[in-house]
Amino acid sequence: DLEPCQEKPGFQDAHCGSGSRGACWLASASSAKAWFCWPEGDAPAWVTTALAANVHCRADMEDGPFDGACTFQTPATVPKQAKAPPEPITWNEAYASAKATLMQMTADEKMTLMRGVGWAGTSLGKWWYVGNTAAIPRLRIPALNMQDAAGGFRTYWNELVGTVTGWPSLLSLASTWDPDAVMAFGSALGEEFAGKGANGILGPSVDVHRVARGGRNFELMSGEDPFLGSKYAKAYVQGVQSKGVFAVMKHWIFNSQETNRETESSVVDEKTAWELYYPPFQAAVEAGVSAAMCSYNRVDGVHSCSNRKQLQEVLKQRMGFRGFVQSDWWATHDTSLQQGLDQEMPSTDRAVFFSPTSLGSQPATATDDAATRILAVVHRMNLSSSKGCAPPGCETMFRTNVTTPPHVALARSLAMESIVLLKNKDAALPILPESVKSVAVIGSAAVATAYNPNGGDQGANGWSYGDYYSGGGSGHVVAGNLVNTLSGIKKRAALAGIRVIESTTDDVVQGVAAAKEADVAVVVGGTTSGESMDRANLNLDHNIDQLIMAVASVNRRTVVLTQIPGAVLMPWRDHVAAILALFLGGQETGTAWGAVLFGDHAPTGRLPITIPATEADTIAPGNGPVVAYTEGMSTGYRNRDFIYAFPFGHGLTYTVFDYLKLKARSCSGDPDATQQIVVCIDVPVKNVGSRSARTVAQLYLEFAAEVGHPAPILKGFQRTGILPPGKSSAVTFRLSRHDLSFYVADQSKWVEATVATAHIGESSEDIRQIVHLSKNVGTTEWIAGDSKPVVRHGVVSTPPPTSALRGQSKQPTLNEAPAMASSSAGETVAAPGNGPGGCSTSSLEEDCRATKCCSEPGMQCYRKNPWWAVCRTSCTAGQINPLEKKQFQTVWDCEPLGVRSPLAPAQPLAPQLTPSQVPHSSTPPATRVIAVEGGDDSGHITLRMKASDVPPNWQQGADIKILGSGGSEYEAEIVHMGDKPQVTTRPENNEHQQRKRSGVSPMVAVWAGILCLPMFLALMAWSWWQVMVRTAADEHGTKRTSFGCWMHSQAANLLEAVTELSTGFAKLAASVIAVQTKLGKRAAIADQPQHTPGGNKRPRGSPTQSPLIQ
């Protein structure tokens, strides 16, 4: 599973002899001595996985370090999975030992396990760990030395800076979509903590994101999805605890914001809790996590650390958690031993509730249970045999340098793997010396230093602040061996012989000057966040948006690098060539950027969150005493009213992939030893580009409407191996009964569904294949229906739970396709349905192919926006007139469906498909054309349905009801039924036209008419031409000749010129355009709401919009 050596920079045959199997490669190599090669049949023992081989080449070679590992063989199309580390002793065995030890303990010794030491007020004693309990030497019970944080050993004192690795943040690791990488990180992290004398890690942080501005989002590895978080939680716990260090999952529970975090009360319904917020914690419990940390906030009015329902009933009883519960620091508010709290931290004079007196007043059974739980962890993790220390005698271990070349190499690999390529227009990346001679690096973030908050009590210098490499607060690690962005780019550019022009301020004038001088302009922007406060907004720092826009205006090849702690706004995204995101990448940030920008590593990261179009497309922190999660599961990508700049799961690379016909089958097996597998879905994924790379196939399950899910939800993902051009890999998704189940609050249990639809693709919005699944009546067996290809690059094909048209003789099922629609101008288009995905069951691409126009020579299927497709001739870019372009609200002028992504208008190295290469049905189904008049001022709307799907009670003149996306019904009449479309125009809305005319005096109108007479005549001529062309197009199967395209472009140029003359007569121009609208303008398209190019969601529902378009 390594990339081909032949694709590495500067490759020469002389680097390795014939018969070589693989090598450690170096970008600057000019001779055979510069590469380390191994022959066929004699691979080193460390060549196990791609991650392990790359780390070894970058760190452990005598002649190294190298830039990575590569292969001369055909890469493995299925990556080799890392083996899970051996489990510690069982919980039953640990409890037996714990109870034996408990019988030897005094009451005071039991209480010693249950309260912290080492703090005086809010100050931690020197050479004490953040969390400590005293040792009990006579029983060989060691001190519990627990240290922040989940993402790295906290550099609490200046003496620690540079002695530990500055890892990428946990959110950055979430971007890898690779649990094996998280397990490798956990193992290395465990080694560093153990080397520092700590036997406990205060992590992982697994809360699911709710608030986009959350101050601690950077350290929450679940991102915004519970399934993703569950896979990571398991891998993290296994990796850390394999090194004899116990893990503490946090923060239990509903700790979604920092605003009023110690006082607010989270209110969450039971279904949402079990389906959205509990799963990552449940996964950590099943992985054997040792402890849980309860949070500051209240739940249903009761402090989390005193909440019997959440601690005893949910966590310990229903989830089966067998470790101990400790409080967050100073989060204890009473002696809540019987409520489920087992250990108070840090037990200082600021607040002590687990004093000997208080604990002595508790029932003996309660203290024994808490002590037993802590002792069980001591025995299960074999802490008595670990090489530790007892504070304050731990200075030597604190000063030990535990960072190593392999750890630095791993940090570099993880940072590279986590970079997400969001956009790459016109193959702006990678930067190759054949076409690029100079690069400008612009922005102060490119040379940002690491922030060191260390003061006497960690508060004197702003302990909650972070930097562009690590977030702030208890999770902050000072990157002592930092490679900043400029350094990393300069080093890699030098190897390629490319000149670097520096403008490392945020001054617009300087930045523009540098951009003008360079072939490529790289603008670096960043922001950060920290504990105790949420972000004030989602903007990048230092008004960098203005700088980006200015640079992009003078350099068409502008690349934006973002170093961020979570979601940010990108208002300039349509004006730049490429965008990349790194969620605080740690000390190797610069090296990672250099490797990706110059093509040493094809991007592999995927978004674990959504990037919103505006701040209104997110959930804000609650400011009141009660924070009600009234949105239920509609957070992140599951909220169908939010508009996204880039969707959950999105990420590009330097090639493109096709998803071939899938095969679903019943299967069995229990690979995780926890859940029963019942359905397997095999999907061949093929590299149709010209460079080797990997992708991440994703599966989203949609259930019936009554289940109550707002959208299809992630239930599977798999990274492919490295796929060379033309090669494919069979990705297999294994669905368990639990995956196919949903939570029923009334019954307080999970219920297995009977039908579901699997959506498989590249992101939550880029779905390529769907298949319907159903459970055999009276059996436990699942069966699959026929699979269907879905429009590529950006449109989810989601079956609607209810019909978009009411009055039918039956309601459509999950396996039925709704109708197609047509604009009145005669171009056949695909109409969206009313389902969670905002589109019809049949894909737009398929709908286009099903019409005659796209099966005729010279016709192609084009997308006007994420939910609207059209058949038209192959006009070249620029031959669509400006008015038509404005109506379509899109950046895909005359662009064939399936070639480009709406999120990245040009995939690098992507093959350009001709009409003959686009697959289509050889025998389109017989269709009926139904013209509907009515709705909410919708004019004439034409439906194109399979003849077999037309309800028998539908007749010309019949009244039906149209259902809008907001749930409103509209009366409508069937005015035409036949085999061919009927040319219709939109009736004038007199009230609307009156509003347009209001406020214009008669004298102004007269003078405006005289001065604008040439413009008026030109517009009338253009309108006449539109009517003639469109009428002819309708009568001849929507064909247009090349002469027609030429005339179209000439009319466009004329219109653009006269439009500029009408600037001072806007109101009159609006009236004239309204006249033109009556003569030929597409009614349905004109009513569409504004959308951000690159956006991917349906509009917010409104009864004032055309229901069928919604």
Indicate which residues carry an active-site annotation: 328
Secondary-structure breakdown of the chain: helix, strand, coil percentages, each rounded to the nearest 5: 30, 20, 50
Distance CA 732, CA 465 (A): 43
Radius of gyration of the chain from Cα atoms? Answer: 31
C-alpha closest to that of 293 among 235, 348, 223, 246: 246
| Residues contacting 172, CB < 8 A, separation 6+ | 218, 414, 415, 418, 582, 583, 584, 585, 586
Residue length, the chain?
1110
**Hey, how many other C-beta atoms are within 10 angstroms of the C-beta on 65?**
17
SS3 assignment, position 1108? coil
Which two structure tokens, joined as six digits, stand for 222?
Answer: 């679940």
The DSSP string of 477-508 is ---TT---HHHHHHHHHHHHT-EEEEE-S--H
Q: State which amino acid sits at residue 283.
A: A
| Number of neighbouring beta carbons within 10 Å of residue 705 | 13
Report how far residue 267's alpha carbon sits from residue 767's, in angstroms, rounded to the nearest whole number.
34
Those residues with Cβ within 8 angstroms of residue 694's Cβ, 6 or more apart along the chain or in another chain: 79, 602, 604, 653, 719, 720, 721, 722, 723
Q: Which two tokens stand for residue 70?
A: 């590569």
Q: Which of 3, 36, 42, 35 is nearest to 19 (CA)?
A: 42
Query: How many Å apart are CA 621 and CA 475, to the nearest integer?
Result: 21
Burial of 742 (0-12, 13-18, 19+ CB in 10 A): buried
| Residue 875 neighbours by CB under 8 Å, 6+ apart | 894, 1040, 1045, 1048, 1049
Tokens of 52: 């392990």
- Give the tokens for residue 753: 């569904």
Q: Give the Cα separation of 699 and 770 in Å (integer).
A: 9
Q: Which of 941, 976, 972 is nearest to 959 (CA)?
A: 972
Q: Alpha carbon of 594 to those of 430, 466, 502, 599, 784: distances in Å?
A: 10, 23, 15, 8, 46
C-beta pairs of 1028-1037 under 8 Å, 24+ apart in sequence: 1030/825, 1030/826, 1030/1080, 1031/826, 1031/983, 1033/825, 1033/826, 1033/827, 1034/825, 1034/826, 1034/981, 1034/983, 1037/852, 1037/853, 1037/856
**Other residues' Cβ atoms within 10 Å of the Cβ of residue 277:** 26
How many Cβ atoms are within 10 Å of 807's Cβ, its own excluded?
A: 17
Q: Which two tokens stand for residue 98?
A: 């714990």
Phi, psi of 900 (to 5 degrees): -125, 155
Q: DSSP letter at 1028?
A: H
Distance CA 277, CA 221 (A): 13
Q: Which of 981, 825, 968 is nearest to 888 (CA)?
A: 825
Which residues partner with 627 through β-bridges?
266
CA–CA gap between residue 741 and residue 749 (Å, rounded): 10
Tell me, rounded to whole angstroms, the distance of Cα 837 from its chain centroid: 17
Query: Quick check: 825 and 1082 in contact, CB under 8 A?
Result: yes
